[in-house]
Amino acid sequence: MKLVFATHNQHKFKEIKALMPDYIELLSLDDIGCKNEIEETGETIDQNAVLKVQHVNDNYNYNCFADDTGLEIDELGNEPGVYSARYAGQEKNDEANIQKALKNLEGKTNRNARFKTVIALIINDQETLFTGICSGKITTQKKGKKGFGYDPIFQPDDFNKTFAEMTQAEKNKISHRGKAMKQLLDYLSK
């Protein structure tokens, strides 16, 4: 079965490909000739995931799934949320986003946060959503060199290290994306 993961982000693609069973041939947007960035104009994480799969389904006629992820920080009124990738500007700079989050939390004691991933799937024109949440806290400084995005400052509950200090396998077992992917894979195996 061919299935498109609607992303240009090679970090995400590699992370998801590691979870896919052998019977699924995973393709990226680049693999199907989609060079443009699909605009995320939704007001929610759910809406952005749906926009991406609809774009691929409508324009390339592939079965497809897409995710959208947001980091929600309690003390910041659930910011950056749907704007997580562009928190510090349209250029989607991970380091700038991290520094803005840390600066906005200076002097704050409530550092509770959660990552939320929504995966939208379209197979044979039928749309389904899967949601994964990983709760934790924002550290006061970056720790670790692995991962991407906010991984160096997100420490999941019941762990004493950040996502950026974990192996890919450790992260996949507990992460928001890993939880949503498990639901997707369970659905696909039926």
Catalytic residue among 22, 30, 46, 68: 68
Tokens, residue 152? 């160096």
Helix, strand, coil percent content, the chain, rounded in steps of 5: 35, 25, 35
Does the bond joining 80 to the residue before it have cis omega, within 30 degrees of 0? Answer: yes
Is 58 an annotated catalytic residue? no
Tokens 């949503």 locate to 180
Cβ neighbour number for residue 54 with a 10 Å cutoff? 17
Q: Which residues are catalytic?
A: 68
